[in-house]
Chain A
């Protein structure tokens, strides 16, 4: 088991190097001179520009810039963004906000997805099942920015049940509406996945045997149908945590959440290489780690595939 985890951690090294190199190259190839852009409409002061270029190593060739960036990572000094703040501090500020948002979205989609999916599966073909199936299809079919603006307008502006935008503190009550919007798409997937899996398991021989033992319907559902049905669902949810963190850009934009997505978007626009690469690298690592977590969870849920060898 520990060898397996160690092996998986060692695999993170090439993933980390590959991801940073790729992202760095993409940012490097962006058209336009970020330093010139900094001056906006004012005339460019060549001396200041040259100084800035040197400070951000923009006068160096691509390989040199990349290696200098790697060096800065391993000396725990990520450098500064264009406004002069240390990038490490920026990361420490935006990641907790997005993590809060993503976890809230995950709890929302997991809880409601599993509960609705279970009920729909157990009542296959009945009214509830049909309604939920159609509704989930609608949710999957509508793009997130449409849903986001729709909910922001109806619930936030017209009904006034929640604040239409998020304050700079990004408290938990502030984030409820954005979390629902962020989790809606995955909620529909979780629901459908649970439903299919429950229907499949309901007809399994061991469920019939469990009923023959004299267990009540509730016990059969809880012990034999639900746990077995959750195996694929948990796998999806684990992988989804990474996707939610990275995918929050649109939602954060709509609700003005001061999180990773917002900051990343601004950094891409202004061509701040080190900031973009730092954020993306952390996202990649989170994605890898949540996948590892899924694999471990999978072994825990299904004893047939434990990683003991």
Chain B
């Protein structure tokens, strides 16, 4: 530990912590008895400091933060320990005391901007009641001021609109305005940007940083993204299965993680991995984080041609605008690119960029308005129903939501066997053998066959979806946000599996994603889409090292942790 850190700690010691959580245990009463969601949690937030709690879903990070503002769900309670806010134990404070504290002493910015604003009240009303409840002036000018401070343009007239007239980013700004309206001393930000596009995420977090610095607000930031936590917070607290496993100054924790879980987290957070790849490139060394095989090291498949050629593809949707009128909406606007056999091509873009529409057209689920999709030399729009059936066998999808894309009434065997049965491949015995092989390939035990989707975790389900996609020995797999819904560690496992299957089976991937950090790890080529247009395309290295377009640069800068200096090698002892 360096001398400067010691000095800082000495200085802090004279100051009282704003929030101190000691040996906190939180229990939930369920039909199966008491469940401990959090055990022995401890953390300290100094005035004006930003502390991040990092962990995967179910780690207890949100529960801990909600306990600090007295908002545990009905069946949850603090079973042991203390929550000291400015020296006062509020772990079992009366509701009256909590109402006094909420808003003007402890504010909150919640996770999902879509569900956290009441749809039937104007934005201005929802800000006004916050000011009013905490005894602050709440005229229209005060409301507009609070909103414009949160970076909402034209706040006066925006205040008269309803939440559904706002975009996700604007709603989140309104929620930040509400959270900071009464200038609380502590702000609890529960995954404040995880539902937003990367570039919007960056803007919002920058603005939140600026505001809390100006107001001297301490922030308790809850996030699943270690890169984001390290970039934004002074201190990081890592939680795993309800316990704090490690805490310390962010950079120190990243560079020298002590607990095995933290080490795994550091190794697999895509934002950090892509940062390490970058560092490795600059130093000219090899790194394990690169999942896409480097050009020299691969065994080229027998045929090395363009398995997919997309030519001048366009898709126009008619939007109904009342009384038989309609307006055209161009979702995909004249895009062309080729996909080489045995490689991974990523299409990246924010929501609404048209990337999923491209995927659906390639899968022949949507008909292009104009342009061609040539698969293995044949224009897919000319296929008759029999040829289309054969085409489906060669091009398979993996979708985003591992919960929605598996039939809950089918057991896993039936799910994976279904494509084989549909395409009348083999007899009953050979199909069962094939399913067993597929489960081996995706590293699931064969006993999984008799189970149902609701008995599996998200990562296991996504493995089942991969096995199903592989059942027909396809040549091309379209992954539409295939890992976006998974926790980082699981995400890393699934990405590794996909990379391994590619080298073994010579698969071609078309990878649709909004997450550039994942692209960095897995893709050979990148196509960047913005508002239906292809703005940049090139090899992953070229695009990441010398982006040509402002939009691409903005996307790259938005990967959390961009400012972190990390060594290319990760010692996972």
Q: State which of B105-113, B472-480, B557-565 sits at the interface with chain A.
A: B105-113
Q: With A214-B130, A214-B182 known to touch, is A227 a contact of B103 (CB < 8 Å)?
A: no
Q: For the complex, what is the distance from the CA of A304 to the CA of B100, rounded to whole Å?
A: 33
How close is A85's CB to chain B, nearest CB, in angstroms? Answer: 47
A217 surroundings in chain B (CB, below 8 A) = 95, 99
Residues of B82-130 at the interface with A, using a CB-CB cut-off of 8 Å, are: 95, 99-104, 107-108, 110, 112, 115-121, 129-130
In the complex formed, the residue of B with least CB distance to A303 is B162
A58 at the interface (CB under 8 A from B): no
Q: B501 near A: Cβ within 8 Å?
A: no
The answer to whether A205 and B115 have CB atoms under 8 Å apart is yes
- The answer, yes or no, to whether B322 is at the interface (CB within 8 Å) is yes
Complex Cα gap A291–B460 (Å): 50
B116 near A213 (CB under 8 angstroms)?
Answer: no
B69 on the interface (CB 8 Å rule)? Answer: yes
**A216 within 8 A of partner (CB):** yes
- In the complex, whether B412 has a CB less than 8 A from a CB of chain A is no
Q: Is A223 positioned at the interface, with any CB of B under 8 Å from its CB?
A: yes
B101, B121, B134, B164 pick with most chain A CB within 10 angstroms: B121
Task: Determine the distance from Cα of A231 to Cα of B121 in the docked complex, in whole angstroms.
Answer: 13
- Distance (Å) between the CB of B147 and the closest chain A CB? 15
Min CB gap A309→B, angstroms:
4
Question: With A216-B133, A223-B129, A309-B322 known to touch, is A211 a contact of B118 (CB < 8 Å)?
Answer: no
- Please, which residues of chain A bring their CB within 8 A of the CB of B101? 214
Among residues of B, the one whose C-beta sits closest to the C-beta of A214 is B103
Given A204-B115, A205-B116, A206-B116, also A303-B178 (CB < 8 A): no
Shortest Cβ distance from residue B29 to the other chain A in the assembled complex, whole angstroms: 12
Question: Quick check: is A137 within 8 A (CB to CB) of the other chain?
Answer: no
* Contact A304 to B71, CB < 8 A, known contacts A212-B102, A212-B110: no
Contact present for B120 and A213 (CB under 8 Å): no
A301: Cβ under 8 A from any B Cβ:
yes
| A228 to B112 alpha-carbon distance, docked (Å) | 19
Interface: A77 (CB within 8 A): no
* C-alpha gap A236/B85 in the complex (Å): 47
> Which A204-259 residues have C-beta < 8 A from chain B?
204-206, 208-217, 219, 223-224, 227-228, 231
Number of interface residues of B (CB under 8 A): 35
Output the nearest chain B residue to A4 by Cβ-Cβ distance: B322
Question: How would residues 55 to 96 of chain B score, 1 for a CB under 8 Å from any chain A CB and 0 otherwise?
Answer: 000000000000001010100000000000000000000010
Within 8 Å of chain B (Cβ to Cβ): is A59?
A: no
A215 to B130 CA separation, bound complex (whole angstroms): 7
- Alpha-carbon distance between A214 and B69 when the two chains are bound, in angstroms: 10
Whether the pair A208, B120 counts as a contact (CB closer than 8 A) is no
Contact of B120 with A215 in the complex, beta carbons under 8 Å: no
A239–B118 Cα distance when bound, in Å, is 26
Q: How far is the CB of A121 from chain B (nearest CB, A)?
A: 13
B115, B119, B133, B162: which contacts A213 (Cβ < 8 A)?
B133
**Please, how many angstroms separate the alpha-carbon atoms of A97 and B175 in the complex?**
52
| A302 part of interface (Cβ distance < 8 Å) | yes
B107 pairs with A212, CB closer than 8 A: yes
| B450 within 8 A of partner (CB) | no
Instruction: Kindly list chain A residues whose C-beta atoms are within 8 Å of the C-beta of B385.
Output: none
Return chain B residues, CB-CB under 8 Å to A301. 120
Q: Say whether A219 contacts B110, CB under 8 Å.
A: no
Instruction: Say whether B321 faces chain A, with CB atoms less than 8 Å apart.
Output: yes
Nearest B-chain residue to A7, judged by Cβ: B323
Which residue from chain B places its CB closest to the CB of A201 in the assembled complex?
Answer: B118
Q: Give chain A nearest CB distance to B309 CB in angstroms.
A: 41
Contacts of B121 in A (CB 8 A): 223, 227
Interface centre among B133, B164, B175, B321 (most CB of A within 10 A): B133
B110 / chain A contacts, CB cutoff of 8 Å = 205, 208-209, 212
Give 20 new A-B contacts, CB below 8 A, not counting A203-B73, A209-B178, A215-B133. Answer: A205-B112, A205-B116, A206-B118, A209-B110, A210-B129, A211-B71, A211-B102, A212-B110, A212-B179, A213-B103, A213-B181, A214-B99, A214-B130, A215-B130, A216-B133, A223-B118, A302-B119, A302-B120, A303-B120, A303-B164
Can you show 25 pairs from A to B with CB atoms below 8 A apart?
A: A203-B73, A205-B115, A205-B116, A208-B110, A209-B108, A209-B117, A212-B107, A212-B108, A212-B179, A213-B129, A213-B133, A214-B101, A214-B103, A214-B130, A214-B133, A215-B129, A215-B130, A215-B133, A216-B99, A223-B129, A227-B120, A227-B121, A302-B120, A304-B162, A309-B322
Listed in ascending order, the chain B residues whose CB lies under 8 Å from chain A are 69, 71, 73, 95, 99-104, 107-108, 110, 112, 115-121, 129-130, 133-134, 162, 164, 175, 178-179, 181-182, 321-323
